[in-house]
Amino acid sequence: MIDPSVLIGFLPWIAFAIISSFFGLKIAAIIGLALQIAIFIPMARKRNYTTLEVYSLAFFVLLTIGILSLDGQGLENLSRWSAALSYGGLASITWTTIAIGKPFTIEYAKRMTPKEWWTSELFISSNKSISLGWSIAFLGATVISITGALSGFKFLFINGLAWGCMFLAIIWHKRVLDDTMAKAKVLRGSSHYEKTAHFAECK
C-alpha cells in the first residue's frame, strides 16, 4: 500500500550530506540538484509529483545558487553545517506535512494504491506512522549533526550516528509496511466473504 520509492526521494539529500563532507559543498550541491532533477522530471511529465519533490527541487536550486556565490571562507564555514542543513531541511518539510495533517508518504502511497483505499483508516494511519518515523529520524540526525558541527567531533563518528537514525527509520518503515499489508489482506478477505454471503442470501 505504501510506495517504497519514498526512499528514492531522500537520495539527493543523503548524497548531499555525504558528498559535501568528502568533496566539498559545490560538488555536493550540483550532484544533489542533478539527482533531484532526474527524480522530478519523470513525475512532472505525469503530473504526479509530490510536495517533498517540489520542496526538494526548490531547496537544491536555491542552495546551489547560494553556494556558487560564496567565497572560499564562506564555503569553509558552511561546510561544517552541510549535514545539519541537509537533515534539517528534510526534518522541516516532513514535520510540516504532519502538522498540516497531510503526511508526506501519502502522496507516494497513492501512486501504487487503488483509489478506493485512499480514505481508509488503515491507509491513513499507516502513512502517519511511517511519516512520523522518518520525521523523528531526520530530527535526530539534525541534532546529531548540529552537535558535531559545534563540538568538532570526527566526521565518521557523527555521520555514523546520523546514518544510524536513517537505518532505524528504514526498519520502522518496513515493519509498518509489512503490518499494513497483512491487515489489508485480512480486510480484502473479509470483504470477499461479505459479498459472497450477501449473494448467497439473495439467492
Indicate the domain borders of the chain. 6-202
Question: What pLDDT, on the 0 to 100 scale, is given for residue 77?
Answer: 73
Sign of the dihedral through C-alpha 164, 12, 124, 113:
negative
Distances (CA, A) of 160 to 4, 63, 101, 154, 157: 23, 24, 32, 10, 5
Q: What is the pLDDT of residues 165-190, one digit of tens each?
A: 999 998 999 899 999 889 888 877 76
Q: Is pLDDT above 50 for 81?
A: yes
Sign of the dihedral through C-alpha 157, 158, 159, 164:
positive
Question: Quick check: 107 and 55 in contact, CB under 8 A?
Answer: no
Q: Give which of 107, 185, 92, 184 is closest to 138, Cα–Cα.
A: 92
Q: Is 3 left (phi over 0), alpha (psi -120 to 50) or beta?
A: beta
The answer to whether the pTM exceeds 0.75 is yes
How much is the mean pLDDT over the chain? Answer: 84
DSSP label of 134 = H
Q: Taking residues 140-161, what's their average pLDDT?
A: 84
The x, y and z cell numbers of residue 10, run together, are 531522500
DSSP label of 117 = G
